[in-house]
Structure formats: structure tokens, C-alpha cells
């Protein structure tokens, strides 16, 4: 009887010890970021603001192209998501606003000069798919990137921040889709001959509920663009471009109920098919 009581007591002590060790396990920068990204990625609905500032120097001219995105999405883990996006960009003082609403397989888009269109065609949607941009940024980073120097900063508002410098090749591997999108924007209409990436940084802020509150990435690019034969005949065959990209995703009250409000009069949007785009050479 004594042996049985002793065995039970010992088993209870072991369980209590294991629970204590587990509950007191030290939170590391890696586990903080990993758990937050996984928890946030699992959300079926999100309300986010996204900014991307692209500063460029080319041929002695400096310019900044800012972009802001306001997006609400529900049903992300279903086959029929509803997503509303309001995207604004500004170039040379000219502002352009594009609205897009996704309801299942259909996309409704309001674009300046094109008006209101309805489509299933991926080719027409790709340039305005901000959800793809969010997904290409929100990454679980490999544990080996979290060196001893990286620490958790506890902010006054109760959030926690981790900042990481990432080697150029590794950053390009992790964020390839996002980097490719940025280079394609700059190189549009030309041929990209050479490309180098530098000063890549990621900063993740986690709220008290364990969700990502803010996810930032920043990097510099050096590019050589081929301008084509006609420009080469004018002595301007190549152009060197330096660019800095700063992008920030802010999650508004993650985990809360999200309402998606589309544009008005969707029934009046003109449908454009894949065949229509092919006829236009798009």
C-alpha cells in the first residue's frame, strides 16, 4: 500500500514538474514571431492597412512612388472568399485609386479610364491583387536567422517587437514573390539585365493576444535595365536604377469580426472574359 501511495505521489510530482517547466519555458524571438505569424495566417477574416514606399534614383532624377492599401477580407479559408481592396498610388503628383472586390471566382474592379469591369481573368487581376502581396510578406522565418544578438523589445503599449537583418540571398529566397513584384514594377517595358539586393530587414510586432500587429520589410536594390535597340541607337541602351523599398502591413484588431463592404451597383459592371483580353493583346 505504501509503495502504491509513493508511486502515485511520485507520478503527481513528475506531472507538476513537467507542467511547471512547460509553462515557464522562456519565450524566444523565434517562438514569438513563429507563433504570431502562424496564428495570424490561420485567420479566416482580416482587416489590414498596407503601405509601400518605393524611392528611386535614375538618370540623375529622384522620385518616390507611395502606395496605400485598405483591405477587408472574409472567408479566406473557404473556396468563396469575399475581399474588398482600395489601393491608391501617386506618381508625379497624379493620384490613382483602384477598387477591387472579390466574390468567389469573380473580381469587380473600378479603374480610372477603364471604368467598372467584372472578370474571372487572372491576367487582368494580378496587378491589383493586394492579398497576394500580403501573403508574400507574411512569412515564418527560419530559426537559424535568429542569432543571439536578436532580442525581444517590449513596447509601452504591451506589444513586443523583433527586428532582424537578413542576408541578401536568403531574403531574396524567402520573399522572392514580393521582390519579383517590386522589380517588375520598376523594369516594366524594359529588360532586366542585372540585379543586386542589399540592406534587407524584417521587423515584426506582436500584440498582447499573440497576433501580428505590424509586419515590416525593407530592402535596397541596384538594377541595370536594357532600354531596347531604339534607345541604344540614341546612346541610352542601358539605365542604372537604385531603389529603396519600405513596406508595412498593419493588422487592425486581428481576430475580431470583419465586415466587407463592396462598391455599389455591382450588377452594372461590364464583364470582360479571357477571350476579350486575348483580342486586345493582353
Q: Which of 36, 34, 38, 66 is nearest to 50 (CA)?
A: 66
Check the CA dihedral 4-6-8-10 and report its sign: negative
Predicted local confidence at residue 171, as pLDDT:
93
Q: Are 72 and 260 in contact (CB under 8 A)?
A: yes
Q: Residue for cell digits 462598391? A: 263
Average pLDDT, the chain: 85
Core vs surface per residue 5-20: b (16+ CB within 10 A) or e: eeeeeeeeeeeeeeee
Report the share of the chain in percent with pLDDT over 70: 85
Round the CA-based radius of gyration of the chain to a whole number and report it.
24
Q: In this predicted model, what pLDDT tens digit does every residue of 224-234 receive, in sequence order?
A: 888 766 555 55
Predicted local confidence at residue 27, as pLDDT:
92
Q: In this predicted model, what pLDDT tens digit does every residue of 163-184 receive, in sequence order?
A: 999 999 999 999 988 888 888 8
Amino acid at each position: 500500500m505504501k509503495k502504491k501511495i509513493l508511486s502515485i505521489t511520485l507520478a503527481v510530482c513528475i506531472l507538476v514538474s513537467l507542467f511547471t517547466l512547460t509553462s515557464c519555458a522562456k519565450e524566444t524571438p523565434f517562438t514569438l514571431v513563429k507563433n504570431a505569424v502562424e496564428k495570424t495566417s490561420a485567420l479566416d477574416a482580416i482587416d489590414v492597412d498596407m503601405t509601400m514606399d518605393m524611392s528611386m534614383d535614375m538618370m540623375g532624377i529622384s522620385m518616390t512612388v507611395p502606395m496605400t492599401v485598405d483591405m477587408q477580407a472574409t472567408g479566406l479559408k473557404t473556396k468563396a472568399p469575399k475581399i474588398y481592396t482600395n489601393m491608391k498610388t501617386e506618381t508625379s503628383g497624379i493620384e490613382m485609386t483602384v477598387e477591387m472586390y472579390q466574390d468567389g471566382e469573380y473580381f469587380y474592379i473600378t479603374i480610372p479610364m477603364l471604368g467598372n469591369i467584372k472578370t474571372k481573368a487572372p491576367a487582368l487581376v494580378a496587378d491589383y491583387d493586394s492579398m497576394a502581396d500580403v501573403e508574400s510578406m507574411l512569412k515564418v522565418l527560419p530559426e537559424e536567422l535568429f542569432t543571439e544578438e536578436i532580442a525581444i523589445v517590449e513596447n509601452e503599449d504591451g506589444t513586443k517587437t523583433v527586428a532582424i537583418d537578413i542576408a541578401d540571398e536568403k531574403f531574396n529566397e524567402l520573399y522572392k514573390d514580393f521582390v519579383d513584384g517590386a522589380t517588375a514594377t520598376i523594369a516594366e517595358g524594359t529588360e532586366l539585365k542585372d540585379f543586386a539586393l542589399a540592406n534587407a530587414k524584417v521587423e515584426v510586432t506582436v500584440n498582447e493576444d499573440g497576433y501580428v500587429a505590424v509586419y515590416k520589410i525593407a530592402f535596397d536594390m541596384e538594377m541595370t535595365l536594357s532600354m531596347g535597340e531604339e534607345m541604344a541607337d540614341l546612346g541610352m541602351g542601358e539605365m542604372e536604377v537604385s531603389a529603396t523599398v519600405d513596406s508595412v502591413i498593419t493588422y487592425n484588431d486581428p481576430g475580431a469580426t470583419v465586415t466587407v463592404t463592396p462598391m455599389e451597383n455591382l450588377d452594372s459592371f461590364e464583364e470582360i472574359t479571357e477571350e476579350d483580353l486575348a483580342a486586345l493583346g493582353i
